[in-house]
Structure 1
Amino acid sequence: MENIFDYHQANLKDFDEAFSKYGWLVYENALSDEFVEEINNSLEDAYLLRRQIQKENGIDLDMAGTLHHLLEPDNFGFKLIEKLYCDEQMRHFLKGNYILNAIGGVINVKDARPYVQNVHRDIRSFTGDLKMMIQMMIILDDFTEDNGATYLLSGSHKADIRPDDLSFYSQADRALAKKGSIILFDSHLWHAAGKNYTDKPRRALTLSYTLPFFKQQLDYPRFLGYEFGETLPEGLRQVIGYNARVPANLYEYYQPPHRRMYKQGQG
């Protein structure tokens, strides 16, 4: 296919052509082996914490291997976000500033049947040429047909039509990507995680980025604390969503421009 590129040689012409034709692309050699290993070493403890909450709330049956909201002050999440991978492409796609909508992960193991294996797209409403969200996958193990490489239905981002499962699996491409790669795809694209038939996990991070006025899946600034945000560099504050907050009372609302919670340039 014509949508696999080296991350360090990426350009917007290739991005536009691949997204127009396929709705997705692969950037190889994006993350170092050392960083991938650091992330993988952190996932098990992060999963155990989230798995316990899933079980306590009775929603664990179809969430096996899924981790949500991995942005915490003392884990790899900040280091990942701060690197601003594919910043140029996402600004180009969303036509300006953007924020993190969600950062999660999947540990795909043999015989698991999590909800991400259902055919789905990651934005509920079809907005056509108005692009509001873009997806990023960080590949933490080589994606193969045997271990559950994601199915992506190329071209399906262009119309508001959910394919039936038979048509989807007969026509979809597989994201056969190397460890350390990044996959970007239009959030309108229909896709599904594959089944893992091997005895080793197939791990990946899944991130969504949106226009700043789009509601985050978790209120990261409130979760992390407003005072904590004051310690962050401006680029990281922007992406985490500190410049697109919603006032909670009149005192927060009536502020001069430089102290407003929803800053200029957020759409």
Structure 2
Amino acid sequence: MTPPRRILLLGGTGEARRLAELLDKKPEFEVVYSLAGRVENPVVPTGTVRSGGFGGVIGLRHWMSDNHIDEVVDATHPFAATISDHAVSACKDTDIPLTVLRRPPWLPVPGDRWQNVPTMDAAALALDALPDPSTVFLTTGRQDVETFAGIARHRFVIRAIDPPTGPTPASSTVVLARGPFDLDDELDLMRRQSVDILVTKNSGGDMTYAKLVAARRRNIPVIVVERPPSIPTTEFVTATAVLNHLMRTDAT
């Protein structure tokens, strides 16, 4: 009997959990679901789950070898550039196939008032350049809050799953919440907090898209941090497409 193909699934997203569920139903695959450990109480699928870093490219390479990994699927957040880069390097060094599951980015539609910026630092500079004090709805995640800590002119409404651990802006309110978020709730929050501007990463997906619709409805400008450049590799936008790809390669 042929042993199952061992898959290292770099997760932390809804798409990753969906893929893990699909693979769990296929006896020809054995999945290790890996999390970076940045969220205190992550939602995880059934099966084998590991948490924490690997120790850079070298550590990841050794871990894959020690655990007899046959293929890696990178289904991390579009802004998890470090682990994605490490996966590319480690798989290239070991000739282990790498497949990427990445949700498509959001695109502006008529009525949106987007300002696209390349980095989180550029978003902070754009806020600092606003002529009047504003209430900023900051939805970039707790890891990036400290980038805005030195901006004293604006009031910040910071939404994150877990509390920020680093410096925060002097005038700030922290709202702890986990998506998905619906449109009525986003509109209500923006009204209650008198939000003037939204700052977000271009994460894509449906779970947090309602904030962009709410900003459009309220004619609120949005600073959108663009995704880091991706390294060309085999990439799909749905869990089902990745499963079909893995099934085809397993059969060859």
Query: TM-score, length-normalised on structure 1?
Result: 0.26
Query: Comparing both chains, which one has the higher relative contact order based on Cα–Cα distances under 8 Å and sequence gaps of 6 or more?
Result: 1
